[in-house]
Amino acid sequence: MSALKVTVPADGAPREVGQDEKRPSRRHLRKASRPYVFIAPAVVFEFFIHILPMVIGIGISLLGLTLFYVHYWTAAPFIGLQNYVVALNFGGAAGSALLHSFLITVAYTVLVVGSAWVLGMTAALLLNGKFRGRSLFRTLFLIPYAIPAYVEIIAWNFMLQQNTGSVNAVLRALHISNPPFWLIGTNAFWSMVMTAAWRSWPFAFLFLLAGLQTIAPDLYEAASLEGASKWQQFRLITLPMLKPVNVVLLLVTFLWTFNDFNTPYVLFGAAPPPAADLLSLHIYINSFVNWNFGLGSAMSVLLLIFLFIVSIIYLRIFQSGGETQ
């Protein structure tokens, strides 16, 4: 028999409670474990889709896995950090090419993210008010975001052709006699920027419009009565109120753009011009065209470390700024 314990409840009538009654019931345990059961499939998929490939990629970066060992990749020699030394040796061929690709990617990311934010903010401000046809314009502005990425980039590829593209047709209509070759030379960089910005700004527009709708109109009315101009209202009310939205939006678009592979690959294939050599495509070429999986994996790990450090610093800066306010 279980030991008994005399307790005095609030009503003053003593009663005996067994030790078994203090143990959690099966129903209580089932209810407590229900959230873990629901998230278990997501955790399993996350492990096999992201965590396990990442660990394997880190392991491959420590091997001399080249074309000669592809068939028997388990026999590839362990070379430690040699692939990282080659990638970070900016005086060598592989390191200088990686540095060039990194700088191109930084410039590309800054221009695309900045253009997407400006276009998205402008469209959100225009469509935040009430006027006839607002729903139609909101739907039209989201079309680039709804179309699959490959379809959009292929369409831009046709538009940017020298003789048959609609972009140069518009330039000729404006009496520009020698329109540029958009998909070769240094113009290839601007082709990517235009394509990626057109794909990205509807996402920024959707984010910012949702944030604008949370700002009370009374704030603008009070500021207007105090004599504040539209620019002052935007600078002193809109931007501070949209700070949490902008923090998330800029970080997400930065990560997406810095890792962009679809735009350069669909526009130029596996042999892009030097001006269009983004990091994601550069890593792909080293891994699947040059068949140097060890070096390509090392570059991927370096990219992961860079993005992780930048994200942490970015969040720390804005979190510390919010705390001081």
Token readout for 48 is 């096999």
Residues 142 and 8 occupy one common structural domain: no
Residues 197 and 163 occupy one common structural domain: yes
Report strand pairing: 4-7 vs 15-18.
Answer: antiparallel
Query: Which residue, of 23, 43, 60, is where some domain finishes?
Result: 60
pLDDT tens digits, one per residue of 120-146: 999 999 888 777 777 888 888 888 888
Q: Is residue 74 part of a domain?
A: no
Q: Is residue 56 part of a domain?
A: yes
pLDDT at residue 320 in the model: 66
pLDDT at residue 8 in the model: 52
Token readout for 283 is 């890593």
Spatial contact of 240 and 278, defined as CB atoms under 8 Å apart: no
pTM comes to 0.84
Residues 275 and 319 occupy one common structural domain: yes
* Identity at 277, one-letter amino acid code: D
Q: Is residue 117 part of a domain?
A: yes
CATH no. for residue 186?
A: 1.10.3720.10
Tally the domains of the chain.
Answer: 2
Residues 51 and 163 occupy one common structural domain: no
**In which domain, by residue range, is 21 found?**
4-60
SS (H, E, C) 95-126: HHHHHHHHHHHHHHHHHHHHHHHHHHHHHHHH
Instruction: Return d(Cα 104, Cα 89) in angstroms, integer.
Output: 18
Q: Is residue 127 part of a domain?
A: yes
Residues 144 and 212 occupy one common structural domain: yes
pLDDT at residue 1 in the model: 46
> What DSSP character marks residue 261?
-
Q: Is residue 267 part of a domain?
A: yes
Residues 307 and 180 occupy one common structural domain: yes
Q: Is residue 246 part of a domain?
A: yes
Residues 49 and 197 occupy one common structural domain: no
Q: pLDDT tens track of the chain, all 325 residues?
A: 445 455 555 555 555 555 555 556 777 777 778 888 888 899 999 999 989 989 999 999 999 988 888 788 778 899 989 999 999 999 999 999 999 999 999 999 999 999 999 999 999 998 887 777 778 888 888 888 888 888 999 999 999 988 888 888 888 888 887 888 889 989 999 999 999 999 999 999 999 999 999 888 888 888 888 888 888 889 989 999 999 999 999 999 999 999 999 999 999 988 899 999 999 999 999 999 989 999 999 999 999 999 999 999 998 888 765 554 5
Spatial contact of 128 and 213, defined as CB atoms under 8 Å apart: yes
Residues 230 and 188 occupy one common structural domain: yes
Q: Is residue 212 part of a domain?
A: yes
Residue 18 backbone dihedrals phi, psi, to 5 degrees:
-80, 160
